[in-house]
């Protein structure tokens, strides 16, 4: 389940802001050291976590500007703990229209945070001087950084340059959408309830929502998922609208009975496995490489009232887990840069390095080639990634077709660009979808 964003309430009893800023700076340091945002936030004191999470998301969405401003204010990089605290505060102050607190409050509390941390106490005066200068000279300092793409778009320079080269007509809209907050999107389990019944239950609970056929619901305000009506009964799953395209794309037009076999490779946490089971009577096998993630598949399927064969193994090494019986359909949601889901995981853009794309593309190639022989003639494999980079999408499929003369490409969505409201490439029943960035390539096996 993706991290949920909770707005800062400012309610009585909320932990002191300086403590939250300290923790947010620690999260940023952990991310800079290579830890995922989810893992870094999990390490935060539970009392602080909701506020820190909101701060951290805002920081990652404004980090490019913040780093540029810090470089102007302090040409020589300060110690890591001081730099993190400065960047956190500058990120939160730089976008005045959306700042979670008054900028003077943020600066005062940042200085207090510096004083109360042994790693930064000796630099508290320096932190104060930098931030006070920013408040005095905001307009000129921001102007000095306006020509830097990383500051303007709040993505790494290599990321921006790659999108400019690959998507010269839409790179700006991709970056803009990638820096917005994603909606809480649900997929209704039509084996347990109906779209209309679930919408009515939400309305009766006072939760405003927009329903989109065939089974997609957008909540206007994010809430704790377990508080939603029907959670324990398995009425819905949290799943982005683009990810909801996977199961229907793979199965549409295939007449699969109870004896048919479907493989969901790289299955954790089980969202797509559940969707497959919701729309087919076929036998579904869920395969996951990491043993620690397998319990989440079982838990999600149990809540939804669904059953699958769940295996632990490497999809690229079928000899270790495959029983020798061919599959009628294979869903490969391959490991990727996750560049299409930075709306939900804004830390990803700062974690990734450009070299990761080529390394992941090699892994994707290995998985596709290993799974293709497991598919019967006439069967289908759906290759998908939550990426906006061509090497992980259309280029990967084109190279696969060149290697496999028995493969044919079927019509599919192709590249889906991240959306922030408005018109979308995903149109069912003439309804506009708001979704992450994905790629879908559908391949059919023909006689060699």
Specify the pLDDT at position 428.
53
Q: Give CA–CA dist 55/41, Å, rounded.
A: 11
Order of strands across the sheet that contains 184-188: 209-212, 216-219, 184-188, 236-238
Is-same-fold flag (184-238; 243-445)? Answer: no
Specify the pLDDT at position 41.
98
What is the chain's pLDDT, residue by residue, as a tens digit (448 residues)?
Answer: 334 343 333 445 689 999 999 999 999 999 999 999 999 999 999 999 999 999 999 999 999 999 999 999 998 999 999 999 999 999 999 888 888 899 999 999 999 999 999 999 999 999 999 999 999 999 999 999 999 999 999 999 999 999 999 999 999 999 999 999 999 999 999 999 999 999 999 999 999 999 987 899 999 888 999 999 999 999 999 999 999 999 999 999 999 999 999 999 999 999 999 999 999 999 999 999 999 999 999 999 999 999 999 999 999 999 999 999 999 999 999 999 999 999 999 999 999 999 999 999 999 999 999 999 999 999 999 999 999 999 999 999 999 999 999 999 999 999 999 987 666 666 554 456 899 999 999 999 999 8
Q: Give CA–CA dist 166/276, Å, rounded.
A: 33
Whether residue 120 contacts residue 113, with contact meaning beta carbons closer than 8 Å, is answered with: yes
Q: Which two tokens stand for residue 375?
A: 């598919």
Question: Yes or no: is domain 243-445 CATH 3.20.20.140?
Answer: no
Active site residues: 386
| CATH code of the region 184-238 | 3.30.70.1170
Specify the pLDDT at position 420.
76
User: Which residue ranges make up each domain of the chain?
Assistant: 17-154, 184-238, 243-445
The overall pTM is greater than 0.95: no
Specify the pLDDT at position 11.
46
Specify the pLDDT at position 422.
62
State the architecture of 17-154 in CATH terms: Orthogonal Bundle (1.10)
Query: How many CA atoms within 13 Å lie on the side-chain side of 158?
Result: 11
Q: What is the DSSP string of 355-386?
A: HHHHHHHHHHHHHHHHHGGGEEEEEEEEEEES
């Amino acid at each position: 389940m993706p991290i949920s964003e909770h707005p800062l309430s400012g309610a009585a009893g909320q932990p002191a802001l300086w403590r939250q800023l300290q923790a947010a700076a620690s999260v940023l340091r952990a991310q800079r050291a290579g830890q995922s945002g989810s893992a870094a936030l999990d390490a935060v004191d539970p009392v602080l976590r909701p506020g820190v999470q909101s701060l951290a998301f805002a920081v990652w969405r404004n980090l490019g500007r913040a780093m540029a401003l810090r470089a102007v204010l302090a040409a020589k990089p300060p110690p890591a703990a001081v730099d993190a605290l400065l960047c956190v505060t500058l990120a939160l102050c730089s976008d005045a229209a959306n700042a979670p607190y008054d900028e003077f409050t943020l600066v005062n509390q940042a200085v207090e945070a510096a004083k109360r941390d042994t790693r930064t106490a000796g630099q508290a005066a320096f932190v104060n001087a930098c931030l006070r200068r920013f408040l005095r000279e905001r307009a000129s300092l921001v102007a000095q950084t306006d020509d830097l793409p990383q500051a303007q778009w709040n993505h790494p320079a290599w990321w921006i340059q790659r999108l400019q080269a690959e998507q010269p007509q839409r790179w700006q809209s991709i970056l803009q959408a990638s820096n917005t907050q994603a909606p809480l999107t649900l997929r209704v389990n039509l084996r347990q309830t109906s779209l209309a019944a679930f919408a009515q239950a939400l309305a009766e609970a006072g939760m405003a929502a927009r329903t989109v056929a065939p089974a997609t619901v957008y909540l206007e305000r994010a809430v704790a998922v377990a508080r939603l009506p029907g959670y324990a009964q398995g009425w819905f799953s949290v799943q982005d609208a683009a990810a909801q395209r996977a199961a229907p794309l793979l199965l549409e037009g295939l007449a699969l009975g109870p004896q048919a076999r479907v493989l969901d490779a790289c299955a954790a946490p089980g969202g797509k496995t559940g969707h497959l089971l919701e729309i087919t009577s076929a036998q579904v096998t869920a395969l996951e490489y990491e043993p620690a993630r397998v319990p989440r598949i079982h838990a999600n399927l149990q809540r939804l009232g669904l059953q699958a064969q769940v295996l632990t193994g490497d999809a690229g090494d079928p000899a270790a887990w495959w029983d020798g019986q061919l599959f009628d359909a294979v869903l490969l949601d391959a490991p990727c840069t996750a560049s299409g889901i930075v709306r939900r995981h804004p830390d990803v853009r700062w974690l990734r390095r450009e070299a990761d794309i080529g390394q992941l593309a090699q892994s994707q190639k290995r998985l596709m080639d290993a799974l293709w022989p497991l598919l019967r003639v006439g069967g289908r494999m759906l290759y998908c990634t939550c990426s906006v980079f061509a090497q992980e999408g259309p280029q990967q499929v084109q190279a696969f077709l060149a290697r496999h003369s028995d493969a044919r490409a079927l019509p599919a969505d192709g590249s889906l660009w991240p959306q922030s409201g408005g018109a979308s490439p995903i149109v069912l029943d003439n309804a506009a979808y708001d979704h992450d960035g994905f790629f879908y390539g559908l391949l059919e096996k023909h006689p060699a």
